[in-house]
Structure 1
Amino acid sequence: MEDRSISDIIEAYLKEILGNSEQIEIRRSEVANHFDVVPSQINYVIKTRFTLQNGYLVQSKRGGGGYIRIERINLLDDVDVLDMLINAIGDSISERDAFDVIRTLYEEKVITRREGDLMMVMVAKQTLKLDSRVKENQLRARVLTSLLNRLRFES
């Protein structure tokens, strides 16, 4: 049997709840109790697995009636999401985060598999291969932002 981390299990649980829905609202403490983990574990899963780069928008409200809302975003229907992605990338992006953005574009059928493969090659560490990780991440952000801008104007 495959070894899965508690983060993988919580992610799968939240995605199962989300199912075909556009969004869900959860209480962090209830999910933490369900898995017998501390609430910060739920925060970690949401912050690392339910990102804009992965096709999710997360909102939270603190307090007694607080909740965490996880919304699946559809890139095809909302050009503003491409703008949000561009803003989220900013001046620098890691290879892993860039790959997540490209994978999400493919899964949302914004790009074809071939286009995705080409984009991944363009932003790969071995392609950019600079002496400085900082400069490499900055160049990767410029390349990916240019590609997203092109998609935005075609939409």
Structure 2
Amino acid sequence: MQSQNISDIIEKYLKSILGDSQQIEIKRSEIAELFNCVPSQINYVINTRFTIQNGYVVKSKRGGGGYIRIVKVNLLDDSDVIKDLVNIIGDGIDFNKSLQIIQSLFQEDLLTRRESNLIIASIDKRTLAFEDRQIENIVRARILISILNRLRYDD
């Protein structure tokens, strides 16, 4: 039996309490205590697994009454989220971050499996096999931004 690492377990737990609701508020110290880990481990999970590319917006308030709010967003219903995604993509994006965005669009039922696979094929490292990695990332960014804009305005 393969054991999961603590980050996977924490992610699974947070997603389970998020359930069908759009948002949750947690206290980092309470979650850390629950999993017997340091609070920075909770930060790591939130910063890497609950990103805008994955369909989440995270807000936090520091201090004694502080909290971390994780909000599940509908990627295309919120124009600010699209703007944030476009800003994250910027002038260039690597394949792994691109894949996160495509997976989120698929999970939100904004892309079919076939459409997702076609997009992934078009932005794959082997497809964009330029000698200069920076050019590859620029072309990938242009493709993704074009797709996002097309999805946003094409009903």
1:55 aligns with 2:60: no
Q: Which consecutive residues of structure 1, in runs of 5 or more, have no partner in the other structure?
A: none
CA deviation profile, 1:91-139 (whole Å, cap 9, x unmatched): 2212111011011111111122111111111111111012222222222
Matches within 5 A, 1:1-150: 1-150=1-150
Opposite residue 64 of structure 1, the aligned amino acid is G
Opposite residue 12 of structure 2, the aligned amino acid is A
Opposite residue 138 of structure 2, the aligned amino acid is Q
The DSSP-based 3-state class of the residue aligned with 1:131 is: coil
| Deviation of 1:76 (Å) | 4.5
Q: 1:79, 1:111 → 2: CA distance?
A: 18
Per the normalisation by structure 1, the TM-score is: 0.94
The DSSP-based 3-state class of the residue aligned with 2:25 is: strand
CA deviation profile, 1:21-70 (whole Å, cap 9, x unmatched): 10000111111111111111111100110011111111111111111100
Moved over 3 A (4+): none
Q: 1:80, 1:63 → 2: CA distance?
A: 27
Count of matched residue pairs: 155
Q: 2:103, 2:126 → 1: CA distance?
A: 18
Q: Which consecutive residues of structure 2, in runs of 5 or more, have no partner in the other structure?
A: none
Q: 2:66, 2:35 → 1: CA distance?
A: 19
| Deviation of 1:142 (Å) | 1.4
The DSSP-based 3-state class of the residue aligned with 1:59 is: strand
